[in-house]
Amino acid sequence: MHFADELIKKIKTTSPICVGLDPRYEQIPMHIQQDAPTPGAAFFEFNKGIIDAVHDIVPIVKPQVAFYEMLGLDGLAALSRTIQYAQDKGLMVLLDAKRNDIGSTAEAYANAYLDTEGDFVSDALTVTPYLGLDGIKPFVDKCDKNGKGLFILCKTSNPSSGDIQDQKVIEKDLNLYELMGQLIDTWGADLIGKEGYTSIGAVVGATYPDQAKQLRKLMPNSIFLVPGYGAQGGGAADVKPCFNKDGFGAIVNSSRGIIFAYEKSSAHTSEQYGDAAREAVVKMKEDLESVL
Amino acid sequence: MHFADELIKKIKTTSPICVGLDPRYEQIPMHIQQDAPTPGAAFFEFNKGIIDAVHDIVPIVKPQVAFYEMLGLDGLAALSRTIQYAQDKGLMVLLDAKRNDIGSTAEAYANAYLDTEGDFVSDALTVTPYLGLDGIKPFVDKCDKNGKGLFILCKTSNPSSGDIQDQKVIEKDLNLYELMGQLIDTWGADLIGKEGYTSIGAVVGATYPDQAKQLRKLMPNSIFLVPGYGAQGGGAADVKPCFNKDGFGAIVNSSRGIIFAYEKSSAHTSEQYGDAAREAVVKMKEDLESVL
Three-state secondary structure readout of A6-40: HHHHHHHHCCCEEEEECCCHHHCCHHHHHHCCCHH
The secondary structure of residue B192, as a DSSP letter, is B
Q: CB-based contact (8 Å) between B167 and chain A?
A: yes
Closest by Cβ to A158, choosing from B134, B163, B167? B134
Closest by Cβ to A108, choosing from B67, B106, B161? B67
Q: What pLDDT is stored for residue A144 in this prediction?
A: 98
What's the Rg (C-alpha) of chain B? 18
The class that CATH gives domain B3-289 is alpha beta
Closest-CA residue of A relative to B121 is A72
Distance CA A148, CA A4 (A): 8
Average pLDDT of the residues of chain B:
96
Q: What is the pTM of this model?
A: 0.97
- pLDDT of A117 higher than 80: yes
CB atoms within 10 A of CB B189: 11
- Contact call for B128 and A132, based on CB within 8 A: no
CA of A133, closest CA in chain B: separation in Å?
6
Catalytic-role residue among B48, B89, B98, B285 = B98
Query: Closest by alpha carbon to B89, among B122, B60, B125?
Result: B60
Chain B residues whose beta carbon lies within 8 Å of the beta carbon of residue A132 = 158, 160-165
Mean pLDDT of A200-220: 96
Distance CA A269, CA A274 (A): 10
Query: Closest by alpha carbon to A222, among A240, A249, A247, A243?
Result: A249
For chain B, the domains span 3-289
pLDDT digits (tens, 9 = 90+) for A38-87: 999 999 999 999 999 999 999 999 999 999 999 999 999 999 999 999 99
Closest by Cβ to B72, choosing from A69, A118, A131? A118
Q: Which spans in A61-195 are helix H? A: 65-69, 73-88, 103-114, 137-146, 162-165, 176-187
Fold of A3-14+98-289: TIM Barrel (3.20.20)
Q: Greatest CA separation found in chain B? A: 59
Tens of pLDDT along chain B (292 residues) come to 999 999 999 999 999 999 999 999 999 999 999 999 999 999 999 999 999 999 999 999 999 999 999 999 999 999 999 999 999 999 999 999 999 999 999 999 999 999 999 999 999 999 999 999 999 999 999 999 999 999 999 999 999 999 999 999 887 789 999 999 999 999 999 999 999 999 999 999 999 999 999 999 999 999 999 999 987 778 899 999 999 999 999 999 999 999 999 999 999 999 999 999 999 999 999 999 999 8
What ipTM was assigned to the predicted interfaces of this complex? 0.96
Distance CA B74, CA B139 (A): 27
User: Which residues fall within 8 angstroms of residue A207, CB to CB, at 6 or more apart?
Assistant: A157, A158, A228, A232, A233, A234, A238
pLDDT band at A233 (very low <50, low <70, confident <90, very high): confident
What pairs with residue A126 in β-bridges?
A: A151
> A35: part of which helix (H) or strand (E)?
helix A30-35
pLDDT digits (tens, 9 = 90+) for B153-171: 999 999 999 999 999 988 7
**How crowded is the C-beta side of A130, counted as CA atoms within 13 Å?**
26
pLDDT digits (tens, 9 = 90+) for B63-96: 999 999 999 999 999 999 999 999 999 999 999 9
The secondary structure of residue A226, as a DSSP letter, is E
- Contact call for B67 and A105, based on CB within 8 A: yes
- Contact call for B73 and A80, based on CB within 8 A: yes
Interface of B with A in 33-72 (CB under 8 A): 64, 66-67, 69-70, 72
Amino acid at A21: L
Instruction: Order the strands of the B174-175 sheet from edge to edge.
Output: A174-175, A168-169, B168-169, B174-175
Mean pLDDT of A198-209: 96
